[in-house]
């Protein structure tokens, strides 16, 4: 059975702005972020297996569809069997 993993992707960019706040505004703009993902090389961090919704990245919940799957199966459907196979409940969290 496939497992769920959380992986952080990072990159460094250069922006032009008048102040640090303006630079942050440029970097957090949704349109800019789409351009960054298209243009920049992203570095993948170490995979961390996910056992409960509290371990999902910000903005993700158990109703989301993870990357790399069949495109239809939601996290909740994958999380429960994985936790049960490992003798855990969803409330156990990492460990």
Domain boundaries, the chain: 5-92
Tokens of 82: 């994985």
Is 91's pLDDT higher than 60?
Answer: no
The answer to whether 59 and 53 are in contact (CB under 8 A) is no
Is 86's pLDDT higher than 90?
Answer: no
Is 35's pLDDT higher than 80?
Answer: yes
Which one has a higher pLDDT value, 60 or 83?
60
Is 83's pLDDT higher than 90?
Answer: no
Q: Give me the percent of the chain exceeding a pLDDT of 70.
A: 84
Burial of 50 (0-12, 13-18, 19+ CB in 10 A): buried
Whether the model clears a pTM of 0.85, i.e. scores above it, the answer is: no
pLDDT at 58: 93
Instruction: Kindly state the DSSP code that residue 72 receives in the 8-state scheme.
Output: S
Burial of 43 (0-12, 13-18, 19+ CB in 10 A): exposed
Tokens of 62: 């158990």
């Amino acid at each position: 059975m496939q497992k769920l993993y959380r992986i952080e992707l990072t990159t460094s960019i250069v922006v032009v702005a008048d102040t640090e706040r303006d630079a942050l505004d440029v970097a957090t703009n949704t349109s800019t972020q789409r351009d960054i993902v298209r243009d920049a090389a992203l570095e993948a961090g170490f995979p961390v297996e996910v056992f409960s919704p509290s371990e999902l990245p910000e903005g993700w919940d158990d109703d989301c569809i993870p990357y790399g799957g069949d495109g239809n199966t939601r996290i909740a459907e994958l999380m429960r069997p994985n936790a049960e196979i490992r003798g855990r409940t969803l409330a156990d969290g990492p460990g």
